[in-house]
Amino acid sequence: MTGKREGIKGIRGIRLLRKEWMVAVLFLAPSLIGFSVFYLIPFATGLLYSFQDSTIDGTFIGLDNYQAVLSRGSFRKAAANTLLFTGVSVPLLIALSLCFAHLLNRRLFIRNWLQTAFVLPLVVPVASIVMMWQILFDWNGTLNVWLQHLHMGRMDWMKSEWSMVVLVVVYIWKNIGYNIILFLAGLQSIPKDYYETAEIEGANGLHKWVHITWVYLTPTMFFVVLMSIINSFKVFRETYLIAGDYPHDRIYMLQHYMNNIFMSLDVQKLTAAATLMVAGILLFVSVMLMMERRFRSFME
């Protein structure tokens, strides 16, 4: 009788598990269908086009489109600028957001004002942001007026080597609030007992930060770095609205290259360039996830 009851319970458990799976699938179905229709299927189709010589009755030509894209100087220039922008802006963004998160984690009388100031760029439309930066860095903009009052020459910021600096500043200003929120949540989740125990044992501030704060903040750090890298590849909107289709060579990004190819309807080269860009992003993501898994296994 005991074995029979256990068998009945096992069958009921399997049926309950199936029902739960069915409910989960029904709730996820709209999102899965939308993701497949608008992202997965178009990407798969574009990947197929990148190996053909035409989008209509095309023939397989192997890696010819990829070789043609990689051989173009404009693509190499755009890729180098994108990597330079990511390599400069992401570390600066991480460092500044971490410092401000530590500042906001303390009791300050202007804490609420600072939180509002940092979060405000997240809710401001991109067009408004671009208009503000155009007013600031235009030839007749505010910054050049200040330089003129200081008896210094005007500068066309977006058509000089300083355009990369302007783009980095815009990127940091736009994304720093999001990173501060994540870091602040990570800092506030660290138990206060650890710091109190370290103080009793005579640990200084640097020792507590390295052995407590940094250790427990590392998972948040991995996520913030990952999101910052992904967001750095989406800076095209700001650059396009500020500098147009063909900006200065210093800020000619991969998205500009693909946008210009799209305007010429060279779909095969476009999909090849997009595939290379996705492969680069997946490489970054894979490395970050591998490092996170190793860190978790080390901590366990």
- Mean pLDDT in runs of 10 for the chain (300 residues)? 55 71 83 86 85 78 85 87 89 91 76 70 71 74 78 76 84 86 85 80 78 82 87 79 74 83 80 86 83 73
Instruction: Read off the pTM.
Output: 0.78
Would you call 258 exposed, middle or buried from its count of C-beta atoms within 10 A (0-12, 13-18, 19+)?
buried
CB of 47 closer than 8 Å to CB of 55: no
Mind listing the pLDDT tens digit for each residue in 222-247?
888 888 888 888 877 777 777 766 77
